[in-house]
Chain A
Amino acid sequence: AQSVTQLDSHVSVSEGTPVLLRCNYSSSYSPSLFWYVQHPNKGLQLLLKYTSAATLVKGINGFEAEFKKSETSFHLTKPSAHMSDAAEYFCVVRVNKLIFGAGTRLAVHP
């Protein structure tokens, strides 16, 4: 069965420091993987996606993720956090539908 596990429910960083949000997946097939961000009162927004091309995927707002098949991971990173990055982040695997992880709430402190 396909699934995703987000290893941290909450992550807190200081503005200007790196961000790491961890995601492991389980898939019988070569997966399509996504990261979405959810800001309050706004719809989920696609940050980036992996669909079997380059393993290092660059997304919007300076985020990137690396697909590591040997580790079944798809961690999201950003070199320098901004206050506006505070939000809920979801790692998602697609089979014939989107399967969401439980989410990681990112807090950014001044």
Chain B
Amino acid sequence: GAVVSQHPSWVICKSGTSVKIECRSLDFQATTMFWYRQFPKQSLMLMATSNEGSKATYEQGVEKDKFLINHASLTLSTLTVTSAHPEDSSFYICSASVGGAYNEQFFGPGTRLTVL
């Protein structure tokens, strides 16, 4: 139980295009989903927290207009990287929990984004 999937697992796009990444909780309803970014050989950094039906809360320094997050249902959240540039290339990981940051988070396998 408590499986979280991400799609796609990897994506390559041209600079200036937008890319959408999906995060799904497969066997539970996630009231809260989180998006993290992991640079090569570095740690995970929280980008934003989203609650179903509400606007996402972004961490300091994360551009909300560049990283659009939608959490339209209890099983799906999407991250759209708009007008992607090479510096946006990274590993994006989502997690989901029932009830917020103080409850256990279940992590997806991640999405590798490469912007050419």
Contacts and interface: CB of A to CB of B under 8 A. Distances in A.
B93 interface: yes
Interface stretch (B11-19, B74-82, B101-109): B101-109
Contacts of A45: 107
Contacts of A13: none
Contact of A44 (B9, B41, B107): B107
Sort chain B's interface into a size bin: 20 to 34
Interface in A23-80: 36, 41-46
Contacts of B108: 43
B101 A43 contact: no
B111 to A, nearest CB: 11
A51 B110 CA distance: 27
Interface of A: 9, 36, 41-46, 90, 94, 96-98, 100-103
Interface of B: 4, 9, 34, 41-46, 49, 93, 95, 101-102, 104-110
